[in-house]
Chain A
Amino acid sequence: MMVEQTLFLSAALFIIGTFGVLVRRNAIIMFLCIELQLNAVNVAFVALSNVWGIDGQVFVFFVMTVAAAEAAVGLAIIISIFRHYQTVDVDNFNLLKW
């Protein structure tokens, strides 16, 4: 069946996204990687809905909605951070500690 292969694809995309969040320093790239993770989950939902029923596909719409809202808020934050620091390198954003 296609389910296994699709789940492999989903896992691969998720792991790539995770590593991207962990190792990259550019906020935009990290943001893209988070989107990648979300979409990896979406792929898994769609693949599994073939087995478990339509619920997974319905859930995907919710995830996409949340992802769209998150993208709007997240990009706005990144823009205002950029205006402040003239950079989007997260190593520079470490005031919130201790």
Chain B
Amino acid sequence: MITAFLLQGGGDAVAGGEFHPFLPGLVVLLPLLGFLANGWLALQHGKASADAVRAGGELDLGDRHSRPATHTLPTWIGPGVMALAFLITLVNFLRMLGAELHEPVVISYWTWMATGTFVVDAAIQLDQLSMVMMMIVTGVGFLIHVFSVGYMRDDAGYPRYFAYLNLFVFFMLVLVMGASYALVFVGWEGVGLCSYLLIGFWFSDREKSDAGKKAFIVNRIGDFGFLVAMFFLFREFGTLDFVPVFGEAEALVYGGGLVTAITLFFLLGAAGKSAQIPLYVWLPDAMAGPTPVSALIHAATMVTAGVYLVARSSVLFALSPVGSAAVATVGVLTALFAATIALKQNDIKKVLAYSTVSQLGYMFVGVGVGAYAAGVFHLMTHAFFKALLFLGSGAVIHAMHEAYHHTHKHDDPQDMRNMGGLRAAMPITWVTMWIATLAIAGIWPFAGFFSKDEIIWQIGAFGGAETAPYPALYTFIWVVALAAAMLTAFYMTRMMVMTFHGQNRTGAEESKHLHEAPAVMWVPLAVLAVLSVFGGWINVPEALQTAWVGLGGLLPTSEWLHHWLEPVTLQAHEVQLEHLGEVSHYAPFGGGEALWAAISTLAALTVVVATIQILGKRDVATPANDPQPTGFANVLANKYYVDEFYDRVIVQPIIRASRFCWKIIDATIIDGAVNLVGMLAKGMGWGISMFQSGSVNTYAFILTVGVLVILGASVF
């Protein structure tokens, strides 16, 4: 049956670019089925362990070969549904490749809700953008699922973990495949929920469950922006479906207040989900979750939803120069801000977290300067190398954890000051992580070089357009983006040097137990490493392909992704061309694309080499001996005290106001009034009950008096 699907879907494209109506829906459905199956197993597993606890013990997982079925089945279900979903996506991708689609294909399954004029269909939209996202989500997602098998195998919550992970992929696919803003919002909220569940996966640890709550609450602020933007769109267009909204979008006044408001509210939503200033604070804390979760949700997929949203709404953003400038400015400030914080972090995952925030900033800059394809390109390459870095750090943490486990030592397995010299024990992790580091640092010919360079180039090109708004702002953004790229090269190299080079600091006994990750973990690393090397080659700029960068035309493609996404971004580019004119072909301070590509990669390479030279010779102090940093370094180590600032300015006042509402308004005033009424009724009842003496004579007397009074009243 599956082969029939493949033949039907993968054969030569049917005329008109029509897709099998059921196959794309199956991509969404499969992870949901995986969630249901794994969730059921998790419930059974939970019952068994509850029984074991009640009997006065703990559920014995046994050794790796004799585990209960609830523990072994998710190994096949979790990655299995992902593999199938990826295959089906691939089939549809090939089909779209052959179809040369110019209009999005909308497949509607049923009417989700219809209230008056507001109708939302449960419909998926297949176009080039959603296809790229589907490929990333299912492809990278599959690799991370496989890695998770190795990483989480000994965890008691293993089936629950895969249930959440499958559920996440389901919602993420709803997000990228939904044919209307309403469905995107469903996915948007769903991935937020799964993010919360997975950050707080080890919920018995208070700190971790708090981190999950923080992520959820900070995202609520962004969701408010998303909702308000949707209300505006509905009021203006009467629908939230992409096709009619974008079809009529150009009726909006260029640069008008309405479209600016819509884009700015969307930016607020995107900043929440994609961890941009001022809502980035949840992402570093989200590292409390299992490391593959950080790779899947907090690096490769969910956090890029904001970039996807802006790219999807490219027409709206192109219509609002203020909105676009705000996106680019927020992005570049976040890129620099997070990069500086990453300089002084000692937790390997914290470095990667701030690095992710910083790279997301680059994507925002890309989509903010009208280079939607470049933003999506960086999204894609970042999914490769950052997932690789996170999974690599997972392998390192796994090894450190087991080493400490052997000797019952309780040091922090994530602190890089406890590592050092791991390259001897973990050669595959070492090599693959270096590839990812070179990619993120923007060294030619790794993937990150092409995508980041493209974005930086496009800033200058956009700022130099004939009638560009705020050219000085874009020059500033360009300079800051280049500076942040150098910082990236530095802090990533620092992380590699501290982790893998120099003397080992784990401990004499512990270091004997350090070992390479098992194959189920290093194979995904290797696949991602290949993608991190070659992933950038699908979008080599035309100007570079013939120059030295493209090895004189040897690199295979010329702006393939750019052309691939053209049907989606064309409308936005036409708007931009009409109002801003041709983009510049020179960087802000002169020089062509090839020259600046050479400058930036050479500069990044210099930073990498210098960092190895300088830091490689320096001894790293273990946490116990490491003196507190002073001056600005201390400010960086404490993340500019932003969390403390938010705590003082926002959290504490809200807590105080809530306490006031609780203690004074609710408990005293409202409850007091209610209690007062009750007390009055009770008091009156008590007073009147005194007449009921129990003495028959009294009753008779009162009765007689009463009769006399009534008689008297009727007589006189």
Contact = CB atoms under 8 A, between A and B. Distances in A.
Contact of A93 (B692, B696, B700): B696
Interface string B680-716: 0000000001101111110011001000000000000
A25 B698 CA distance: 11
A21 B697 CA distance: 7
Contacts of B700: 21-22
B356 to A, nearest CB: 73
Given A22-B697, A23-B697, 18 more contacts: A18-B704, A21-B700, A22-B700, A22-B701, A22-B704, A30-B696, A90-B696, A91-B695, A91-B697, A93-B696, A94-B694, A94-B695, A95-B694, A97-B692, A97-B693, A98-B690, A98-B692, A98-B694
A96 interface: yes
Interface in A58-98: 90-91, 93-98
A1 to B, nearest CB: 23
A53 to B, nearest CB: 25
A40 to B, nearest CB: 14
A90 B695 contact: yes
Interface of B: 689-690, 692-697, 700-701, 704
A97 B693 CA distance: 5
29 contacts: A18-B704, A21-B697, A21-B700, A22-B697, A22-B700, A22-B701, A22-B704, A23-B697, A25-B697, A30-B696, A90-B695, A90-B696, A90-B697, A91-B695, A91-B697, A93-B694, A93-B696, A94-B693, A94-B694, A94-B695, A95-B694, A96-B694, A97-B692, A97-B693, A97-B694, A98-B689, A98-B690, A98-B692, A98-B694
A56 B697 CA distance: 31
B703 to A, nearest CB: 9
Contacts of B695: 90-91, 94
Nearest to A94: B694
A18 B696 CA distance: 13
Contacts of A96: 694
A94 B692 CA distance: 10
B406 to A, nearest CB: 76
B711 to A, nearest CB: 13
A94 B696 CA distance: 8
Task: List the 10 closest pairs (A to B, CB-CB), nearest first.
Answer: A94-B694, A97-B694, A90-B696, A97-B692, A98-B689, A21-B700, A96-B694, A94-B695, A22-B701, A97-B693
A18 B706 CA distance: 13
User: Main secondary structure on chain B at its contact with chain A?
Assistant: helix
Interface in A1-31: 18, 21-23, 25, 30
Contacts of B693: 94, 97
Contacts of A93: 694, 696
A18 B704 CA distance: 8
Nearest to B690: A98
B116 to A, nearest CB: 61
Contacts of A97: 692-694
Interface residues of A, number: 14
A95 B696 CA distance: 11
B512 to A, nearest CB: 84
Interface of A: 18, 21-23, 25, 30, 90-91, 93-98
A21 B703 CA distance: 11
Nearest to A90: B696
B689 to A, nearest CB: 5
Nearest to B707: A18
B560 to A, nearest CB: 92
A5 to B, nearest CB: 22
Contacts of A98: 689-690, 692, 694
Contacts of A30: 696
A67 to B, nearest CB: 18
B127 to A, nearest CB: 80
Nearest to A96: B694
A91 B693 CA distance: 10
A37 to B, nearest CB: 11
A94 B694 CA distance: 4
Contacts of A94: 693-695
A95 B694 CA distance: 6
A44 B695 CA distance: 31
A25 B700 CA distance: 12
B696 to A, nearest CB: 5
A29 to B, nearest CB: 12
Contacts of A91: 695, 697
A93 B697 CA distance: 11
A33 to B, nearest CB: 10
A95 B697 CA distance: 14
A60 B690 CA distance: 39
Contacts of B701: 22
Nearest to A97: B694
Contacts of A18: 704
**Residue in B689, B690, B700 with the greatest tally of chain A CB atoms within 10 Å:** B700
A83 to B, nearest CB: 19
A98 B687 CA distance: 10
A22 B695 CA distance: 11
A41 B700 CA distance: 18
Contacts of A95: 694
A90 B693 CA distance: 12
A18 B700 CA distance: 9
A21 B692 CA distance: 18
Nearest to A19: B704
A83 B690 CA distance: 29
A90 B689 CA distance: 20
A30 to B, nearest CB: 7
A18 to B, nearest CB: 6
A23 B701 CA distance: 9
A49 to B, nearest CB: 23
Contacts of A21: 697, 700
B344 to A, nearest CB: 76
Contacts of B689: 98
Nearest to B685: A98
Nearest to B693: A97
A95 B42 CA distance: 63
B715 to A, nearest CB: 15
A30 B695 CA distance: 13
B445 to A, nearest CB: 96
A93 B699 CA distance: 13
B274 to A, nearest CB: 70
Contacts of B704: 18, 22
Contacts of B692: 97-98
Nearest to B708: A18
A23 B700 CA distance: 10
Contacts of B696: 30, 90, 93
Contacts of B697: 21-23, 25, 90-91
Nearest to A24: B697
A23 B694 CA distance: 16
B293 to A, nearest CB: 66
Contacts of B690: 98
A23 B704 CA distance: 12
A7 to B, nearest CB: 16
Nearest to B696: A90
A4 B695 CA distance: 37
B710 to A, nearest CB: 15
A93 B698 CA distance: 12
